[in-house]
Structure 1
Amino acid sequence: MVTSLLKAAVGTAVALGCMAAQADPITVTDIAGRQVTVDAPVERVILGEGRQIYLIGALEPESPFAHVVGWRHDFSEADPDNYAAYAAKFPELKDIPTFGGFKDGTFDVEQAAALQPDVVLMNLEAKAATEDAAYDDKLAQLGIPIVYVDFREKPLEHTIPSMRLMGRLLGDEQRAEAFIDFAEAQLARVTDTIAAADPERPKVFIDRAGGYSEDCCMSFGPGNFGKYVELAGGDNIADGIIPNTFGTLNPEQIIAANPDQVVVTGGNWDAYVPGGDWVGVGPGADLQKARAKLEKLTHRTAMTGITAVETGDVHAIWHQFYNSPYYFVAVQRLAKWFHPSLFADLDPEATLRTLHERFLPVDYEPGYWVSLQDE
């Protein structure tokens, strides 16, 4: 039953709707394939994941939080360095109400309703949990539409349509297309070269969040970073073992595969595992410290005797490339590690710097990757 608070929220929503500036109903097809009618351009948005600000920031860099009335609290915990950069430039973000997640059942529908959103942007991976908890039905009772986007489950397939979808909702279509053109051109610098050269592919192990826990080893199947490896001219050793995007390899499988390259994804995870063995790469990272932690990970059982450790082809890269529209930068960096001669003229850091200068609200700071080969 809809509570009195929700009923009051409905009344307020109607009043606000009468006063809203020229917003017209449009019907969009979201990443879940659902047709959703939304009054656009939207003025009030709830972000079902805080890191959706990566996309909105590229669309509205001058005021990325202008339309955000609520968001999940993950951004400050999963990417505290970028959160700090955004907070320094846009301190108003600290006043935006935060809430728990849909997947863990801590989302508060009444709180969301009181914020009077025009739309709730949800990540595709939360769809099953959202429906199981009937959040979709409860929000529908209030006339609050959910639109699903995705830049994690299938980033290569879904990031661009998600960016285009959000551009349409916010009235930023031209900005969205400019970003898409840049992303596709930067990705093609790798994929066109790999297609033409058809180089021998090194065997690659992606160590997902290596050192985050004592267990070893999380990795990626054919999706996400697993797909990045393929595009960059590598052979993902987990493909065929891990059937879906995320999964785990045991040390024996890694040793038997004997990868030529190891890539650890890392970040600043003090909020989750204080003082952990994770490799702290990201904006402004202490790369000397990160390199030392990366070297420490090579002493795990799973790294015993493998070629990558013997040759020093062990690298770390920012974990959030798996969960942001910046995937093409990761593909460039992987390609340069896997095929240094083929990509001698490719500069992934220059690409990332240009991305910040042209599209993002915050200034570029180096620190997004490190390698045992770095001096």
Structure 2
Amino acid sequence: MKPVKSAILACGLIALSSAACAEITITDLRDRTVTLDAPAERVLLGFYYEDYLAVAGDGAVDKIVGLSRGPWAGWRPGQWEAYTQTFPQLANLPDVGDTESSTFSIEAALSTDPDLVILAGWQYDALGESVQQFDTAGIPVLVLDYNAQTLAAHLASTRALGQAMGAEDRAETLATLYAEMTADTAARVAASTEQPKVYVELAQKGPDEVGNSYAGGMWGGVIDRLNGRNIANGQIENWGPLSPEYVLAEAPEVILLSGSEWLNRPAAVPMGFGADKALAQVRIDAYMGRPGWSDLPAVQNGKVFGIYHGGSRTLSDFAYFRFLGKALHPEAFADVDPQAELTQFYVDWLPIKPEGTFVIQAE
């Protein structure tokens, strides 16, 4: 018998107060009404792994009964390794597949006997009508959306997760922290008159092949919010490479290379968990050695930065935004230490230390 069903039975047998046995009603990030009989005890976790752990707090790992493992172990292998070293049981949890590779199995998910399924908005959308199988089985599905990259969506996702896990106070404290840091960042940007030209590139393929840049969303959206002039705006829709000639002609004053823990990418800029700072510098040097780059203002003025690609669209992303804010508006952010803020977030809210290289200013 599931714990949630036991709780319902207990309410009926011993006549607990109506407040103690009240249903939990949540509006999720697809504007759906989700009803739980009690805080979740058996969670099928599709995405937002660190956000779940931050909000749910102590014992959160023990409540996970299955994972969509690919987006964690495959996309962020360094992060996955860090968590499985601390919590080896994660590696033994059932993997239900992932929507990106069209391997997500509703049947496998149901076999884990969850009392709550947590999905990212993009996962829910990809599953389409098949997600109704959870409804048929009486399993509530909670949709979160940190990928929306808006303050409202971050706060709503955090509070919804807190309701579902019986951690409303913890979630509200996190939401308040995020809102305050976002407001402080916005105030500093508003006080600055600088509007530097910015070029961002996904540094996955190495300097011999041009990686994607971003406009509107992902790092492009962040640059817009930080009052930078993103040279990708008007050139691409969402993401895609910019021509080398265009980049040189635009003469960016700040260059951002987004790196990660990618496997089998020998020329990529390594960033994130377990990433070596010296190696990141060597790989960034290779990018700065591209034809014509030595004449770019960003290179000449030491304004080339590396950032962890997994640092966006999560509760800790305020620290990465402040790192970029400092890159674009150094005087306005002179007293801000984004690396220290990121480290403190992990100390306060997550069960592991962020060991690796998450942000770097190239020498």
Note the alpha carbon deviations across 1:297-338, whole angstroms, 9 max, x for none: 223468474322233311111111123221110111111112
- The number of residue pairs the alignment matches comes to 351
Quick check: 1:65 aligned with 2:61? Answer: yes
Residue equivalent to 1:7: none
Name the counterpart of 2:82.
85
In structure 1, distance between residues paired with 2:276 and 2:326: 22
Q: Distance in 2 between matches of 1:29 and 1:300?
A: 50
1:19 counterpart residue number: 6
- Structure 2 letter corresponding to 1:93: L
Flag the 1:58–1:213 CA change in 2: closer, same or farther, 3 A.
farther
Task: Give the counterpart of 1:287 among 277, 299, 303.
Answer: 277
Output aligned runs, 1:176-195, within 5 Å. 176-195=171-190
AA partner of residue 276 (structure 1):
P
Cα pair 1:209 1:319 within 8 Å, conserved = no
Which range moves more in the overlay, 55-64 or 287-296?
Answer: 55-64
| Contact residue 285 and residue 366 of structure 1 kept, 8 A | yes
Kindly state the Cα deviation for residue 349 of structure 1 after the two structures are TM-superposed. 1.4
- State the Cα distance separating 1:363 from its structure 2 match: 2.1
State the identity %. 29
Q: Secondary structure at the match of 1:164?
A: helix
**Which residue pairs with 2:143 in the alignment?**
148
* Counterpart mapping for 1:223-302 below 5 A: 223-244=217-238, 246-270=239-263, 274-300=264-290
Deviations 1:241-284 (A, max 9, x none): 3334x4443333323322111111111112xxx14211111234
The within-5 A match list for 1:294-373 is 294-300=284-290, 303=293, 305-373=295-363
Residue of structure 2 equivalent to 1:119 = 116
Cα deviation digits, residues 132-172 of structure 1 (max 9, x gap): xx321222221223221111243544222111110110011
**Post-superposition shift, 1:366?**
4.9
Q: Distance in 2 between matches of 1:152 and 1:303?
A: 32
The unaligned stretches of length 5 or more in structure 1 are 1-11
How far 1:17 moved relative to its partner?
5.3
- Counterpart CA distance in 2 for 1:155 and 1:305 is 36
* Deviation of 1:81 (Å): 2.4
* Greater alpha carbon shift after TM alignment, 120-129 vs 300-309: 300-309
- Aligned residue for 1:312, secondary structure, equals coil
Question: Deviation of residue 232 (structure 1)?
Answer: 3.0
Contact between 1:250 and 1:302, CA under 8 Å: does it hold in 2?
no
**Where do 5+ consecutive residues of structure 2 fail to align?**
12-20
Counterpart-to-counterpart distance in 2, 1:17 and 1:334: 44
Letter in 1 for 2:185: V
Contact 1:48 1:102 in 2 (8 A): no
Structure 1 letter corresponding to 2:39: P
Q: CA deviation at 1:222?
A: 1.5
Q: Counterpart of 1:341 in structure 2: which amino acid?
A: E
Q: Distance in 1 between matches of 2:90 and 2:321?
A: 31
The residue type equivalent to 1:368 in the other structure is: F
- How large is the RMSD of aligned CA atoms in angstroms? 2.4
Measure, in 2, the Cα distance between the counterparts of 1:315 and 1:229. Answer: 13
Q: CA separation of 1:34/1:240 partners in 2, compared to 1, >3 Å: closer, same or farther?
A: farther
**Contact persistence 1:64–1:361 (CA under 8 A):** no
Counterpart Cα distance in 2 of 1:261 and 1:235: 10
2:33 aligned partner: 35
Inter-CA distance 302–355: structure 2 relative to 1 (3 Å threshold)? farther
TM-score, normalised via structure 1 length? 0.86
Q: Structure 1 CA distance, aligned partners of 2:25 and 2:56?
A: 22
- Does the alignment pair 1:198 with 2:192? yes
Q: Distance in 1 between matches of 2:302 and 2:204?
A: 17
Q: What SS does the aligned partner of 1:265 have?
A: strand
Structure 1 stretch displaced more, 246-255 or 113-122: 246-255
